[in-house]
Structure formats: structure tokens, C-alpha cells
Amino acid sequence: MIAILGAGAMGRLWAASLPAHETAFVPRPGQTNTAPAHFHFQEADGHSRQVTVSWLSAADSPALVLITTKAGDSTEAVEHLADWLPATTPIVLFQNGLGSQQAVAERWPDRPVLAATTTEGANRPAPDQLVHAGTGDTWIGPLTKPAEQNLYGVIARLSASGLSIHAEQDILGRLWQKLIINAGINPFTALLNCRNGDILSADLYRAHIDGLCQEIAGLMDTIGRGPADAKDLRQSIEAVARGTAQNISSMRSDVLSGKRTEIDYINGYIVRLGQSLNIATPVNRMLTEQVQQLSSG
């Protein structure tokens, strides 16, 4: 049994992809409605099917837990889980950005905590619908010492989903690569209320992208993740913006639906890291503050 905490788009994608009856959603503390969740799943190849997922009961003993909440919710979610989950059960964090993963790993260094980063895309146009909008790859790697021995077991279990999964020893490095892309695309799409490709010709983007890349490259060099070249970072950001030109970014989508964004774990993470190292990050700070003003977070 694989337990999934966070029955949103990503959690439902894993529940729908893993073998039927092998997954269960973890109820929120105090949740009373534990009737199975039913939803309509539109697969990436266009096929559709109904999916039913039950909720974890006290009698269940999961072999693995996937945390598929947004970044701002993951520490509190693991806090509740840690009250009853055996200390040896692996926990895999699926959050975007950086900061939330380290917070969980630092809080529970003796538990097997792993992190994942994925280019799969899923959304819920309605509460009972899940669309697998794009197939991609998922990389998983250990964050804590005890997780090192669990990595290949976790990958074997999740590979039953048919999704493309890879082991990554330097998962923080891979999360950094995704962070660069999200930091360079997401806030601009949210502030300009535009599709990913449209940022490239916008004045706001053109005025600030070099400064943003210089700030990130400087930090990466300082923390030993360099050498990083600001021009290369800009090229990577623009290649993804062109490749996903028609996408509505996750941050713009959150703003449009009135949800809290993950800005604090993307550009906001860069700002906090800069503060801790006494390195100024004015562009990332300006973008963080402006996006925070757009939404409740």
C-alpha cells in the first residue's frame, strides 16, 4: 500500500497511474468524510477512465508515503504523519521550488526522507476530473542519510505506475535546475497575466531577466553549486519558455484561481538564501513582493 498525502492534481496522477487498490489517500486530521474519492481521469494519450481511491484507515500500514501538497503545506502535513507513521517508512516529497524539502529533512533527519522533481503535468479542471496534460520524467533522490538505502526500493515500487522514473543521487542539484526555470518564468507570467512564451517580448521580463540570472548565478557560485554563468541560465529559461510557450504556468494558474502561490519557495527562496549569505537579491525580492501582492501568498 502506497499512501498519498495531498489529493490534488499530482496526488491523483500517482493514484490513477499506480495499480488499482494499491494506493490510498491520507485523510486530514479530523476529516470525517472518508467515502472513496471517485474521479474521471483523462490520460495523456486521450483515453479516459474512472478512478476510485479509498482513504487510509488506522489498520493500513503503508510501505511508502508520497507527500503531494503544495510547498507551503508540506512540513505541517509531515508533522501530523510523524505522529503515527513508523520511523522507517520512506517519505517522498513532491514539492516544487526549494526550502520546504530541506525543512522536512532537517526536522526529521533520522527518517528516510526523499525528494522528487517531475516534468509530468496534471491539472483538475473540475474537482472530479483529472487531466494528465503532459508526460515527462520524475527524478527521485535521498535527502536524509537513512533514505539512501531506500532509494531503489522506492523507485521499484513507483515504477509500477508506468511513469518514467529515475534515481538521482544529487536531487538538490536537480531541484536547483528546476528552480532556475521556475524563478525565470513563473513570476513574470503571473505579473503579466500571460502565457509562458509571451514573457519573452515583455518589457518587465527584458528589463529584469539579466539581473535575476546574475543574482542566482552569484548565489550558486557562493554555495558551491557553480560555476554558473548568468547567460547560460537565461538561455535555459528561454528555451523552456519557448518549449512551453502556450502553457499557463502553475503560478499564473494559482493566481487566476485565487490560491496561494509557491513564490516563497521559488524567488522567495533565492531572497532568503541571499539574506543568509549577505548577498543582495533585489530583482528576486521585487518579484516575490509583487507576486505576494497578487495573491494571498
Ligand X SMILES: NC(=O)C1=CN([C@@H]2O[C@H](COP(=O)(O)OP(=O)(O)OC[C@H]3O[C@@H](n4cnc5c(N)ncnc54)[C@H](OP(=O)(O)O)[C@@H]3O)[C@@H](O)[C@H]2O)C=CC1
Interface residues toward ligand X, by CB under 6 A: 5-11, 28, 68-71, 73, 76-77, 94-96, 118, 120-122, 250, 262
Q: Is 82 helix (H, G, I), strand (E, B) or coil?
A: helix
Binding flag, residue 250, ligand KPL (CB under 6 A): yes
Cell of 209: 531577466
In the list ligand X, ligand KPL, none, the entry touching 71 (Cβ below 5 to 8 angstroms by class) is ligand X
Q: Going residue by residue from 192 to 211, which x/- string records binding to ligand KPL, judged by CB under 6 A? A: ----x---------------
In the list ligand X, ligand KPL, none, the entry touching 186 (Cβ below 5 to 8 angstroms by class) is ligand KPL
With a CB cutoff of 8 Å and minimum separation 6, the contacts of 245 are 195, 196, 197, 198
Least separation, in Å, of the C-beta of 119 and ligand X? Answer: 7
Cell of 35: 467515502
**Start-end of H helices in 18-86:** 74-82
Cα 195 to chain centroid, rounded? 20
d(CA 101, CA 115): 7
Least separation, in Å, of the C-beta of 17 and ligand X? Answer: 13
145 in active site: no
In the list ligand KPL, ligand X, none, the entry touching 55 (Cβ below 5 to 8 angstroms by class) is none
CA distances to 132, 191, 219, 220, 270 from 279, rounded to whole Å, are 40, 25, 8, 11, 10
Contact stretch for ligand KPL (CB under 6 A) within 17-25, 150-158, 181-189, 225-233: 181-189
What residues make contact with ligand KPL under the rule CB under 6 A?
A: 181-182, 185-186, 196, 240, 244, 247, 249-250
